[in-house]
Structure 1
Amino acid sequence: MLAAQRQALILEQVRRSGGVRVTELVESLDVSDMTVRRDLDALEARGLLRKVHGGALAPHRHSTEEPGFEANATCQEAEKRAIAAAAARLVEPGSAIGVSAGTTTCALAHHLREIPGLTVITNCLRVADVFYRSPRSDQTVVLVGGLRTPSDALVGPLAVAAVRSLHLDTLLLGVHGIDPQAGLTTPNLMEGETDQALVEAARKLIVVADHTKWETVGLCTIAPLERCDVLVTDAGLHAEARRQVSERVGGLIVAEEVEEARPEPPEAGAGGRVPPSRRGG
């Protein structure tokens, strides 16, 4: 197969699903890993896709573009697993928690189902499925209804109405982007409204987001950066970004650092904030 033919097939798959893994292309095209990566380099140079660790995604050009769940799942998988493990240690047994939609929160759900006595409110079909497959009988899981988005979130008036009647101890929120000025954002207006209701219902907000979300801006602001009590991210977040986060967020946890040290969950200070001495940097 000629390079042009391979690249056309790669683009077709990226456009159809929003993203593709290198391993999948190696198998489907019957070529080497190196050949696939050369094709991805060539397509990225033409602005037709953007390479990420382990694969490629359709290029982001607009604040309303919303990659599907499967496309996002190909990005930063190791980082998301580390973030999920670190964030789960911040959740207390027996608490009422909200879990938003997203690939990171879905990874997080696998850890949360090991925590006894949780009451879980979620607007994500995949998160709910993780809990429903658990053999535990001491957890209560409520899936709010609504319209389904490409990220497998349930959103809209029904979801918002259900959430606004609740009082959560903690919300674990996945986001499309984090920006110093725009705050926590999403490209979907209805998902933004539903996430805003979840934030308002929670006493404590824990945001789980890998480093690629920094300075990404979606159409709708969910909440300002200062509303976040704890941001759990990965070691790829650069020093200047860490400085800005530490100045404006209650606490910063870098997942790989936490995984190595395995400290106890940070103690909340006044207003549920993590004391400055416990912040990452």
Structure 2
Amino acid sequence: MWQKDRHQRIRALLSTLQRVSTERIMADLDVSRETVRRDLLDLEALGELRRVHGGAVRPGDEAPIAERAHTHVKSKNAIAKAATGVIASGQTLFIDAGTTTALLAEELAKLANLTIVTNSIDVALKLRGSAEPAEMSNEVILLGGSISERAFATTGATTILDIRRYRADVALLSPTGVDVRSGATNFDHAESEVARAMVDCADKIVILADYSKIGQRSRVSYCPAERIDVLITNSKATDVPDFAPLKKKVRKVIIA
């Protein structure tokens, strides 16, 4: 089968299924795994799909959080460690739900005298079990609301109202993508509303985005690039064409 025909078949599969596995493409096209890998790389470069662990999704879609937890782990760990350097003792932090912020919670659990306000049940659980004396621990506030179907987190009108009760020193947020035109974006409307409320109620905005998210744009924008105080990413991000103009828009970039 010619490359042009394979690409058209992959487009058709994505149009119908919205998410397609490598194995499904191999079976439907009767080609090798390496051929599928090359075709997905080509189509991703054209902006027609986004590769995820085990296959591909349409450009604006996002893989399930359980799957995302196993992708780019080394990069996300480095970002989480670097993020601890932008906070100070005594501060109040907003943290949204995501695989990178879950790793951040593990790093924050080693610190003390912070107030963490989060809609992520995973983040709250990682931070709650401190055996340190009360004066050495962090205060963790889990926001109310409805449990999201997409993530282990609260969302909805109650969550938004709860956020607006607080004023945070820093909001640490992990988007689906971040680019120069739309800033930080998310695939899910409800999760975006939570992140937007945190942006509105925080003095400083820190975006945690591994290199795979740089230059990517999803459905809902919640923080323009010029509103981002600190972008923490990886050295591979510097190879992305969108990185240079994005760096000019945000106030500070930290390479983890």
Q: Is the CA contact (8 Å cut-off) linking 1:67 and 1:151 kept in structure 2?
A: no
1:99 aligns with 2:95: yes
Partner amino acid for 1:139? Answer: N
TM-score by length of 1: 0.71
Give the SS at the match of 2:144. coil
Give the SS at the match of 1:89. helix
Partner amino acid for 1:223? Answer: C
Shift in CA distance, 247/50, structure 1 to aligned 2, threshold 3 Å = closer
Distance, in Å, in 1 between the alignment partners of 2:215 and 2:51 is 18
Match of 1:250 in 2: 251
Match of 2:56 in 1: 59
Shift in CA distance, 112/19, structure 1 to aligned 2, threshold 3 Å = farther
- Write the mapping of 1:174-189 to structure 2, written as runs, cut at 5 A: 174-189=174-189
Shift in CA distance, 58/130, structure 1 to aligned 2, threshold 3 Å = same
TM-score by length of 2: 0.78
Shift of 1:214: 1.4
- Write the mapping of 1:150-229 to structure 2, written as runs, cut at 5 A: 150-229=150-229
Distance, in Å, in 1 between the alignment partners of 2:21 and 2:186 is 19
Shift in CA distance, 149/233, structure 1 to aligned 2, threshold 3 Å = farther
Structure 2: which 5+ residue stretches go unaligned?
Answer: 1-16, 23-30, 44-48
- Write the mapping of 1:229-244 to structure 2, written as runs, cut at 5 A: 229-239=229-239, 240-244=241-245
Two-structure CA RMSD over aligned residues (Å): 2.5
Match of 1:140 in 2: 139
Distance, in Å, in 2 between the alignment partners of 1:248 and 1:112 is 28
Distance, in Å, in 2 between the alignment partners of 1:172 and 1:215 is 19
Match of 2:72 in 1: 76
Cα deviation code 1:208-247 (max 9, x no counterpart): 1101101221111011011100000001112544422321
Distance, in Å, in 2 between the alignment partners of 1:91 and 1:18 is 40
Give the SS at the match of 2:194. helix
Shift of 1:103: 0.7
Shift of 1:113: 1.4
Structure 1: which 5+ residue stretches go unaligned?
Answer: 1-14, 21-37, 256-281
Shift of 1:19: 8.6
Q: Is the CA contact (8 Å cut-off) linking 2:50 and 2:59 kept in structure 1?
A: no
Give the SS at the match of 2:204. strand
Shift in CA distance, 153/57, structure 1 to aligned 2, threshold 3 Å = farther
Partner amino acid for 1:253? Answer: I
Shift in CA distance, 134/186, structure 1 to aligned 2, threshold 3 Å = same
Partner amino acid for 1:250? Answer: R
Q: Is the CA contact (8 Å cut-off) linking 2:96 and 2:194 kept in structure 1?
A: no
Partner amino acid for 1:195? Answer: A
Partner amino acid for 2:220? Answer: C
Distance, in Å, in 2 between the alignment partners of 1:162 and 1:40 is 48
Q: Is the CA contact (8 Å cut-off) linking 1:84 and 1:104 kept in structure 2?
A: yes
Distance, in Å, in 2 between the alignment partners of 1:18 and 1:114 is 40
Shift in CA distance, 42/154, structure 1 to aligned 2, threshold 3 Å = farther
Distance, in Å, in 1 between the alignment partners of 2:110 and 2:21 is 31
Identity of aligned residues (%): 28
